[in-house]
């Protein structure tokens, strides 16, 4: 199973990706996680990405395309993968098409988690509370001010990606406002129908 999971910040992409990893034995390829790991390591990529991520803007396409290129045919993705947070621009979606073609792979599904933006701040606030309760550090971009920029980037740069896949007849939509277990069931139904 090779899948793209789309949706705005806080839509539940990471939550659902982890459930699919457990269920299908496939890899979660999250560009956000890869970039945060690079920032934590202090690698040249991390140094280039950190300030951009902290502002809530998108990092340059070439950085994330290279990250994904290196991971699509990794050993952990032998059974398939979930692209979580990639592609986030139409240029990234076009680059993904080219990478998949070169690797003789194809996507099985593109699913968008559809959510009401007004709820996203509450979800991010919940995540901050849970992170602090667990004794972990809160993401630098998880606050009300930066969330506005992240949502703005989503509307301007990522919403057209849904239209890109819809135009190819490849987009499925799932209600991301339902309880987590119901979203999981709807996603399963969308992937197996
Ligand atoms: P990234 O890490 O991808 O963050 P994001 O898309 O903003 O997504 P989040 O991780 O905030 O949300 P999510 O949809 O995974 O929701 P979650 O499951 O955690 O990107 C971070 C940054 O990296 C970007 O801003 C950019 O700078 C850079 N970047 C990354 N990829 C890039 C790319 N391709 N191109 C350029 N730049 C890139 O859920 C959120 C909370 O809600 C959790 O607390 C969860 O428990 C809760 N929740 C989930 N589902 C439900 C539900 N159904 N009901 C109630 N609560 C729920």
Query: Is the shortest distance between the CB of 165 and ligand 1 below 6 Å?
Result: no
Distance 103 CA to ligand 1 centre (A): 28
Question: ∠ at Cα 30 (22, 1), nearest 5°?
Answer: 50
Ligand 1 atom closest to residue 87's alpha carbon, by position in its atom list? 34
Q: What CATH number is attached to the domain comprising 174?
A: 3.40.50.300
The pLDDT of 69-79, averaged and rounded, is: 94
Distance 72 CA to ligand 1 centre (A): 20
Side-chain-facing half-sphere of 81: CA atoms under 13 Å: 22
The per-residue pLDDT for range 175-192, each reduced to its tens digit, is 999 999 999 999 999 999
Distances (CA, A) of 26 to 3, 15, 192: 10, 15, 15
The pLDDT of 59-65, averaged and rounded, is: 97
Residues known to be catalytic: 13, 88, 127, 139, 150
Measured CA to CA, the distance from residue 160 to residue 166 in angstroms comes to: 10
Ligand 1 atom closest to residue 60's alpha carbon, by position in its atom list? 36
**What is the domain range of residue 30?**
2-192
pLDDT category of residue 193 using cuts at 50, 70 and 90: confident
* Sheet of strand 27-30, all strands in order from the earlier edge strand to the far edge: 27-30, 81-84, 2-6, 109-114, 171-175
Query: Is the shortest distance between the CB of 14 and ligand 1 below 6 Å?
Result: yes
Distance 170 CA to ligand 1 centre (A): 22
Closest CA to 60 of 96, 91, 99, 29: 91
Measured CA to CA, the distance from residue 171 to residue 102 in angstroms comes to: 22
Q: What is the pLDDT of residue 95?
A: 98
Task: Supply the mean pLDDT for the chain.
Answer: 96
- Which protein residue's CA is at the shortest distance from atom 42 of ligand 1? 123
Measured CA to CA, the distance from residue 23 to residue 124 in angstroms comes to: 26
The per-residue pLDDT for range 95-143, each reduced to its tens digit, is 999 999 999 999 999 999 999 998 999 999 999 999 999 999 999 999 9
The pLDDT of 4-10, averaged and rounded, is: 97
Q: Specify the number of domains making up the chain.
A: 1
Query: Is the shortest distance between the CB of 8 and ligand 1 below 6 Å?
Result: no
The per-residue pLDDT for range 15-57, each reduced to its tens digit, is 999 999 999 999 999 999 999 999 999 999 999 999 999 999 9
Measured CA to CA, the distance from residue 22 to residue 92 in angstroms comes to: 27
Distance 87 CA to ligand 1 centre (A): 13
Q: What is the pLDDT of residue 173?
A: 97
Query: Is the shortest distance between the CB of 34 and ligand 1 below 6 Å?
Result: no
């Amino acid at each position: 199973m090779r899948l793209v999971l789309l949706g705005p910040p806080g839509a539940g992409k990471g939550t659902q990706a982890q459930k699919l990893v457990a269920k299908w034995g496939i890899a979660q390829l999250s560009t956000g996680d890869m970039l945060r790991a690079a920032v934590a390591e202090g690698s040249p990529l991390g140094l280039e990405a950190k300030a951009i991520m902290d502002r809530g803007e998108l990092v340059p396409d070439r950085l994330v395309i290279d990250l994904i290129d290196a991971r699509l045919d990794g050993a952990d993705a032998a059974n398939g993968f979930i692209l979580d947070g990639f592609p986030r621009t139409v240029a990234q979606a076009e680059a993904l098409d080219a990478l998949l073609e070169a690797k003789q792979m194809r996507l099985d599904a593109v699913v968008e988690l559809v959510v009401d933006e007004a709820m996203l701040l509450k979800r991010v606030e919940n995540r901050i509370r849970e992170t602090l309760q667990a004794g972990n550090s809160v993401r630098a971009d998880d606050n009300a001010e930066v969330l506005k920029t992240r949502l703005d980037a989503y509307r301007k740069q990522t919403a057209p990606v849904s239209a890109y896949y819809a135009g190819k007849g490849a987009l499925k939509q799932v209600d991301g406002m339902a309880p987590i277990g119901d979203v999981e069931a709807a996603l399963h139904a969308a992937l197996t129908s």
